[in-house]
């Protein structure tokens, strides 16, 4: 191998490596900047949040939790109430 070929190969290797590092670096900067821009817009006052609508209270639960010696046991409310009114 002559020294001219190895110098040319070294230059080409440096050029390819530099372009590869530059490309990956630019991609990472673009990716981070894109996420920061999205977060900035979400926190900014320029985007108005949707008005909060008051929810109606949840219906009474059918399952109640009974504590038996420290162990919670689910019981159905319908089975606890008497069915007849004597």
> 9: part of which helix (H) or strand (E)?
helix 3-43
Given a contact cutoff of 8 angstroms between Cβ atoms, the answer to whether 75 and 63 are in contact is yes
Q: What is the pLDDT of residue 56?
A: 66
- Is the pLDDT at 33 greater than 60? The verdict is yes
Average pLDDT for residues 12-23, to the nearest whole number?
Answer: 95
Q: What's the pLDDT tens digit per position in 43-72?
A: 665 566 666 666 666 566 667 777 777 787
- Reported as a pLDDT band with limits 50, 70 and 90, residue 18 is very high
- Reported as a pLDDT band with limits 50, 70 and 90, residue 41 is low
Q: What is the mean pLDDT of the chain?
A: 75
Q: Supply the DSSP string of 14-83, one letter for each residue.
A: HHHHHHHHHHHHHHHHHHHHHHHHHHHHHHSTTSPPPPPPPPPPPPPPSEEEEEETTEEEEEEHHHHS-S
């Amino acid at each position: 191998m002559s020294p001219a070929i190895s110098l040319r190969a070294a230059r080409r290797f440096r050029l390819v490596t530099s372009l590869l590092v530059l490309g990956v670096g630019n991609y990472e900067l673009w990716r981070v900047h894109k996420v920061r821009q999205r977060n900035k817009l979400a926190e900014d006052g320029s985007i108005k949040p949707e008005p909060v609508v008051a929810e109606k209270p949840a219906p009474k639960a059918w399952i109640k939790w009974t504590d038996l010696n420290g162990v919670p046991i689910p019981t159905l409310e319908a089975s606890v109430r008497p069915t007849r009114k004597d």
